[in-house]
Structure 1
Amino acid sequence: MDIRLYRDKLAQLQFGNKALVIVVLGLVVALIANGLFTRQVIVHVAPVEVSRPYELSGTGASPDYYRQIALSLVALLADVTPESVDVSHAAFRRYLAPAAYGPVAEGLAADAQYIKQYQIARVFWPEQVEQQGDRVTFIGREHRMMGHNKVAEEERAYTLRLRVRDWQVQVVELAVASADEYRRARLAAR
């Protein structure tokens, strides 16, 4: 073998190794710079209808925000048909806090089964709002229909307790009762 040919190939390999090391170092520096200079993306969940100004932070919100977002969430529970109940309840479950997920999801599944089994459409019109911090209660008329026939109309209370964690709205507690039961429980708690 010719010694000059051997030296030339060795020099080419050394140059290739140096070029490869420079490229790898450049990529490492680019990854570090990307990690240092990326911005945090915040997804803000806005209420369906913004009727009043509100404040929101990564760990809390103003009472106006809780009231407006709760109204948007109650619609997912209370305004359902046999065709829409699964989609509406699935959308609501995305807002459940991990600790509340089991019991509330179980209740939603039973509600969906009842609505589909008896082909019931349900509509809720809130008439009154009561709020104590992060707990919002809507009291109003709920109508239930089978086909075109109204089978029930009653005054209902939907209570949601909300919190904001890392800019994410979570439902911590859900209670649905007749308005009379809600008022009795409220008087007993005083």
Structure 2
Amino acid sequence: MKNVILSFFVLSAFALFAQEKITLEVAPYTIYCDDTESERCLQLLDTLGASLEIVGMDAIEGFKAEEGFEYTIEAQPLPVMDDGVVRYRLIKETSKMWVPQYATDAPTLNGSFQVVGFNGRSLNNNQIDLVINANNSIMRGSTGCNNYHLFFKQLGYSLIFSKILASHLLCDSRSALDEEYFVVFNSVHHFDLQGDVLRLYDITNKLLLEAQRIR
């Protein structure tokens, strides 16, 4: 009989815990907690009730958010204390996804580069330069046959391009290569800049273009 009663309480406690477990999405960027703009807060979305909460950075025990990453977590709501602050205890982090447009550590793209490869192709002696002007948000350059330029917008590590404008001269040995190069910018989603090496990627993180800074 004692074993039956004990089992009942164990199952009841487990059921209560299971009911209190909720799934939350954590936004990839923080906001000011109030009008004083003295502290930053997390934004939480309850995926079940679709309700948005703004909580302090330490409101989830065992969890620390990195700016620029969107999280899905399982958490247990904790009893509300006298201060009325909503708190949770982390159970499990189920996903962590980098959202490049909200990254706060992204460098400003600027300067002159030489393209060393794109679409898995090494350019070797085929000179293509890429000049990036952050002040007026223009990328321009020359392929050795055609001049080109396009406007861009940088959001964190994310890049959005306008339609490319090029001279489209007919150079027998370069025309096909130039056209393939110009199309690359249609698929660019984000970039990475390590030292003097610039890399452009598509949304699946496939490398599209690599360039070396010209000193």
Quickly name the TM-score band, shorter chain normalised: 0.3 to 0.5
Q: TM-score, normalised by structure 1?
A: 0.35
More strand by share: 2
Q: Name which one, 1 or 2, has greater alpha-carbon Rg.
A: 1
More helix by share: 1
Larger relative CO (CA 8 A, sep 6+): 1 or 2? 1
